[in-house]
Amino acid sequence: MKFFLPFFLCALPIYAEFTISDGDRFVKLKLFAKDSLQINNFDKNENYRLQNTITVGFSLNGLVVPTISFNAFVELNTDMESGLAYLTHNYEPYNGYPYGELDNGRTWDFFRTRTDWQAAPYFKISVGYDYLSYGPARRNKLALRGGDFYWRTIQDTADYAFIKRPVPTPFIGWDLNLAHVSYSQHFMQLKNWKDYRKYLHAHRLDFKVSDNLNFGLTETVVYGESPSERRSMEPIYVLPFVPYLFAETYGGDKDNNGISADFSWKLFNRFEIYGELFIDDLDNITSFFDDKWWGNKWATSIGLAIDSAKIGIFNWDYNFEYTRIEPWVYTHHKGPSNDYSHFGNSLGSDLGPNSREFYSRMGFSYREFLRLDLSVSAVAKDTALGSRLGDIHTLEDPTDKKYLNSKSTLHYQEYGTAILFKPFSIWSIGVKQYLIFGEYRGKRTEIFSGVVW
């Protein structure tokens, strides 16, 4: 406790809120600052690494007219870590989100913004730099995960785990909502090389069978430029209601097309069963479990959730999810120009290809004053070719695939505990603890104070 006491004394949050309104129109500005301390031990020599992160920022949202709304968020971060000098970032997107170098630290800014125009009760146009998310899965969305990110051990980091924060995308899109059917379409700009263009098109159909049952169909297509190929945007993908599967054939069958189907069934208003199936490629419709062809690429997430149930004076919620991702999913033979990534991060699940996860989480809360979360995750991650987003299958590589090959697969378990204490409506303090067992071993503790977004 002697070490942590000074931290909490200096970590009181700074928070202010301002609102200007005129009839239905308003602008709301929130200013905030928070502090956190992370203690990591993923060193074989049992050495601890300490990182202090200070964040300041603001959010701005409002209503210009009854049909036009806007929302913006900006934060500035400074990370100081003991015994670590960050490498100079060359601003190539495939190296992750850019930052500025400091002595034993780094500084980086992060923002997102969007404007929505409700042109008619059933029609909305949106534009901005933000996250887009499709599908009902809560832990591992397969088609578009949006802003979801979790602290987890990832094989690319060897003995040290870190957070790979997804990056928003510039986008323009529209939504058509009818009584039992809705249609969404979005066009996004991606980045993997700073001097080359990359695009993502996505559209989705939702069928509301009843108040409790929903089915969805999603299509995505990724393509871009490389040092050996210059390309511009394909107009056929912008047209509404055109299946990308057919449009890709029209363009020469050279892009990265994906199709997903999902469902969500809610019972008693608190219990939900959901599932997603993502098909990156298949030899034929009956070849799901045929390992003789590496191009049979698919993934699935199945889960159940309980929300806002009661045990005496406590609310509780629960989520279980199983995810399986076959080898080579999200990859493409053209590499970074066409793979399913943005700023080096997967647009789908961050587990990546050739992986599996069993995840379970239970949370207890007393009003907004106190919350406890307990979670466990069992992960299997292969390290062979076809297990990383950037892997490229060549003519010399084997034509079969091996899902979670026993000779190259790593297994580990992550146990998490999080306690959030909110003594005031604008101030939260908390502790998170993660323990890793198996072929990865280590622990991570985070203590934070401030406004939690």
Q: Which CATH number covers residue 363?
A: 2.40.160
d(CA 332, CA 245): 16
Query: Which pLDDT score, from 0 to 100, does residue 8 have?
Result: 41
For 247, the 3-state DSSP assignment is helix
Helix (H) or strand (E) holding 244: helix 244-250
State yes or no: pLDDT of 222 exceeds 70.
yes
Token couple for 209: 């069978």
Cβ pair 197, 225 in contact under 8 A? yes
Token couple for 236: 């056929």
Query: Which pLDDT score, from 0 to 100, does residue 163 have?
Result: 43
Query: Which pLDDT score, from 0 to 100, does residue 148 have?
Result: 83
Q: What are the backbone dihedrals phi and psi of residue 49, each rounded to the nearest 5 degrees, phi first?
A: -120, 130
Contacting residues for 117 by C-beta, under 8 A, at least 6 apart: 67, 68, 124, 125, 126
Structurally, the chain folds into a number of domains equal to 1
Q: DSSP labels for 155-224?
A: GGGTT--B------EEEEEEEEE-SSEEEEEEEEEE-SSTTS-EEEEEEEEEEE-SSSEEEEEEEEEEEE
In the chain, the percentage of residues whose pLDDT exceeds 70 is: 91
d(CA 331, CA 387): 9
Query: Which pLDDT score, from 0 to 100, does residue 83 have?
Result: 66
State yes or no: pLDDT of 9 exceeds 50.
no
Helix (H) or strand (E) holding 68: strand 68-81
Average pLDDT over residues 341-359: 94
Token couple for 154: 């990832």
Confidence of residue 427 (pLDDT cuts 50, 70, 90): confident
pTM: 0.90
Query: Which pLDDT score, from 0 to 100, does residue 164 have?
Result: 67
Token couple for 115: 């404007």
State yes or no: pLDDT of 156 exceeds 70.
no
229 DSSP assignment: B
In which domain, by residue range, is 301 found?
A: 4-450
Query: Which pLDDT score, from 0 to 100, does residue 34 have?
Result: 85
Q: DSSP labels for 286-301?
A: T-TT-TT-TT-EEEEE
